[in-house]
Amino acid sequence: MSAMTDTLYSPAHEPEPASAAAKTTPSQPRAILDPGLDLTLRPMRYPAFYDRYRDAIRNTWTVEEVDFSDDLVDLQRHLLPAERHLVRRLVAFFATGDSIVANNLVLNLYRHINAPEARLFLSRQLFEEALHVQFYLTLLDTYVPDHDERAEAFDAIEHVPSIRAKAEFCFKWMDAVSTLERLESDGDRRRFLMNLICFAGCIEGLFFFAAFAYVYFLRSKGLLNGLASGTNWVFRDESGHMDFAFAVIDVVRAEQPELFDDQLALDVQAMMEDAVEAETAFAADLLSDGVPGLSLADTRSYLEYVADQRLARLGLPKRFGSANPFTFMELQDVQELSNFFERTVSAYQVGVSGDVSFDVEF
């Protein structure tokens, strides 16, 4: 790799430091968090990431395929006032959630994950995040016809405390690496790891999975099927994003196991506890008017269950020990798959091939 390529992210464009972390030789392959910008796709160092990129390309859908016509009838005639409040809060979170993810993707993850095949997946992910933003924009325009109410929903991060708290949680971990031009030290890489773990385990893996649960709860009552059908496709995308991020963490663990010490484990556990508290506060807001069939206690148990699944994926002990009280989520992978095969022609531009798992952990 040329000196010019290796200094693309150096503030002063100075030669790369002669440190063990930054130097590579034929006998010492470049690691995925080494500073610089590797542009060489062959020989491919991480072919599994290229395979993930190709799988994501096959899973292509458009917002125009989502039919909200029945949802409008539900909103006007069938939803209880408490359910309408839940939906209003939920779409307000959706309005900004994927934009936060996309910003972190561009400003932090793409910059420091130094493998061109991994950056191919991240490029595809950015497209999918933009698609999700379009979906939620269309959702808000459809569900909230009043201009002032719609503007308030888009500005919820400023005036809805429960949404602001979740955004502040996200920004805390994004800002921790926003000033890092290069990952020169183990300390830098730990900070980046915490960002990536927060992204995979807390934002994609908890905040969005909680939001999906509210959607599928309403669907279990026969409500807002248009929202649920669009969420099925977002759910597939987000699951792929989360799995990719965890796979990158696995690579870092294999290349630099010393980063995964007791202190990192304690920090991750504390971060996950904070995420559960922030999401529980949001749930208390959503359910504040009393939604029949959906209690705050059960929602808290579901959040703890999901958080434990994310900790286990990281090889860490489970923190909460809660069971999943939402049986409608246990069946979600099967329901979505059945729906997918029934609607492949209309719902996807390219059919998905390969093995499909029925044992996804929620």
Active site residues per annotation: 136
Of 328, 323, 325, nearest to 308 by C-alpha is 323
3-state secondary structure of 26: coil
Which residues of the chain form beta strands (DSSP E)? Answer: none
Residue in the block written with tokens 């929602």: 299
Rounded Cα–Cα distance for residues 136 and 279 (Å): 20
For 202, residues 6+ apart whose C-beta sits below 8 A from its C-beta are 169, 271, 272, 275, 310
Rounded Cα–Cα distance for residues 331 and 132 (Å): 23
Residue in the block written with tokens 């994609």: 204
Q: Could you tell me if 246 and 140 are in contact, meaning their C-beta atoms sit under 8 angstroms apart?
A: no
Q: How are the residues of the chain apportioned to helix, strand and coil, as percentages rounded to the nearest 5? A: 70, 0, 30
Backbone phi, psi, residue 291, to 5°:
-100, 115
